[in-house]
Amino acid sequence: MKLVLASSPEGKKKITKKIIELVGKPAKDISICVISEAQSVKTGDRRWFINGLHKVSKTFGGDIGICNLLALSLNEIRDQLLKYDVIWCFGGNTDYLKFAFDKIGFSAILPQLLKKIIWVGSSAGSCVIGRRHSFTPIEYGITDYLGLVNFCIRPHIWGKYAQGKEKYKYENLLKESHKRAIYALSDKSAVIVDGEKIYLHGKKAQKIESGKITEMI
């Protein structure tokens, strides 16, 4: 399983270089399939999503598709995604994203797909892969995420999106880290999962365990 779990990987040079390395192809040949359900229940300006798609389009030269999970059967979803090198899951509402995954059965087939396809997560698209924070209000009846990795992602701790309600109190992360590891990410960093190897990549990020920082860049 190869995962790039980031706050905002689109257009970031270091993260792009790592994606290319994991895929094993030149950027001009890498194909991407986008999953965007998480943003469908958000309100307000969507330029962040449009700009993100534009950056992906400029960076990678292979086919770029959009998989509308709620419009297709599970077999159609599987067949479509297997044609691509990378699944790029954009951000938005993580609880709704997991709700949509569960509703169509995507949660059950994703582990098999990830044996063949690389997952790049952007914000909610990263959080959904791991575990859910216990201190966040429950939405859509979701009490945990996929748990394909046994840690939590907290995106946008540092960066232009770290404002308002997105600026979570650091003390909450320290408390939560007594239950499981938390990766606190800036907008220029990612957690890389490459088989058994898990490590931080990029700029300004921390791994927090048992109330202490155990890894940082």
> Per-residue pLDDT tens for 205-216?
999 999 999 999
> Per-residue pLDDT tens for 150-159?
999 999 886 6
What are the chain's domains? Answer: 2-216 (3.40.50.880)
Distances in Å between the alpha carbon of 9 and those of 17, 32, 53, 209? 11, 14, 11, 24
pLDDT greater than 50 at residue 61 = yes
> Per-residue pLDDT tens for 117-158?
999 999 999 999 999 988 889 999 999 999 999 999 999 886
pLDDT at 43: 86
Q: Which of 64, 76, 70 is nearest to 30 (CA)?
A: 64
Residues 62-82 have a mean pLDDT of: 96
- Higher per-residue pLDDT: 163 or 24: 24
> What is the pTM (predicted TM-score) of this model?
0.94
pLDDT at 136: 85
Residues 163-185 have a mean pLDDT of: 78
pLDDT greater than 80 at residue 76 = yes
For the chain, the average pLDDT equals: 93
Distances in Å between the alpha carbon of 31 and those of 56, 114, 188? 10, 15, 22
